[in-house]
Amino acid sequence: MMKKRLLICMPDLPFPARKNGISIRYYPIIVHASAIFDIHLLVISNGDGKSDIDIEGLQEAKKYCANISVYHRKPKKVNFLTKLYARAKTLLPVTTPFTELRYDETEIASFIKTKTQGQEFDVALCVLIPYQNLIKKIVTAKQYTLDVIDSPYSTIMRTAGKSVLKRYDALMVKLWERRVLKSVDRACYISPLDRQLGAGKNIDEQKIAIIPNGLFLQDHTEEKKIYGCTTIGYLGHMGYPPNIKAALRLYSIFQARRNELPNTKLVIIGRDPAAAITALSQDPNVIVTGTVENIWPYVNGIDLFAFPMEIGSGQQNKLLEAMGAGKLVISSTLGNSGIGARNQHELIEANSDAEIGDALVRFTHDPVSARNIGKRAQDFTDRTYSWTSILNKIDQHLLNIH
């Protein structure tokens, strides 16, 4: 039987599986979809023009994709007058917002056209909003679908502050996001909060769904690092600003409650730590792992995790992974907003420094309760975030398989 044809346009190659948030979501989706579709993967890679796609990842992707085309965006010098003209043009409410402009859009459009010309796809799926307009304009497909993941409007609103110009830009992003949603057959967000902010309250839920990430534990091992003391953990990509801010806040709380946390160390697990995170390892009570080949021995050795997130939206994969490993998680309400765990039952919500500090002290001194909540967290993630059920939603909503 001849396979259907699927085009996926995305900003990065989602291999290997733990490369970043995109790969955590799309590695299992592509592996699953490859049984049904011949997949043509269009990667429009941001950065400085250098390849951020490793050879091993590319070879793995070729196992599942019939065709892979990569466009490496290169830095493009733009003079002041061009920027001024672009700013003036984007003051109109029906244009692409200034913050979302791509000065190399002509080159990107040419790449898409060259790689897809003369082909018809059963489904053209765009991952993230920026290139959806080009995909719809250039690519021939029976159905156009969009995985927004995190709302661009939600993202820009976090930094708009009181600046009139930034708030105007945010308004333009909101209008642009909603226009793009109208242009596709189906779309989805990763969390209810992002959908509400990006799509508005009065939406067609049959067209714009919520499809979270599944819990990726395929590489989980039982190996356990022995730290020789009580441990409080933080997990995430430690070059990512929201993680940097949260980890530094956790360290500040940890320091303030040090006398109530005897024989306890803070362990920060994650790749590419920023200088501010690496510097914390000068404290003998802090371990910064940096990039490790396998996170699970480090995670398995932690007694409890704390994620005092102040910025960010959507689904926090790191929380899910810690919960899926059977660990007690202390999270801000924001961190739990995209997960939906029950406070005091499957997770502990704490927002102020005092609340977080109290929870750290309480559960490091009560390991039985910590383990019980961790077990319920594991049951919750197994039940709610299994990839089997999520892939069924992907099939029906984004890939038009019924």
Q: pLDDT digits over 162-201, tens only? A: 888 889 999 999 999 999 999 999 999 988 888 999 999 8
Q: pLDDT digits over 102-150, tens only? A: 999 999 999 999 999 999 999 999 999 999 999 999 999 999 999 999 8
Question: Residue ranges of the alpha helices (H) in 296-397?
Answer: 296-300, 317-324, 333-336, 353-364, 367-384, 387-397
Predicted confidence band of residue 314 (pLDDT cuts 50, 70, 90): low
CATH 3.40.50.2000, the chain: domain bounds: 4-214+387-397, 230-384
Residue 21 pLDDT exceeds 80: no
CATH fold, domain 4-214+387-397, is Rossmann fold (3.40.50)
46-55, 78-87, 162-171, 347-356, range with greatest mean pLDDT: 347-356
User: What CATH number belongs to 230-384?
Assistant: 3.40.50.2000
Tell me if 383 sits within 8 A of 329, measured CB to CB: no
Q: Cα separation of 159 and 52, whole Å?
A: 27
Which pTM does this prediction carry? 0.79
Q: Cα separation of 295 and 241, whole Å?
A: 20
Q: Cα separation of 333 and 330, whole Å?
A: 10
Q: Residue 69: what are its φ and ψ, rounded to 5°?
A: -125, 130
Output the pLDDT for position 242.
Answer: 85
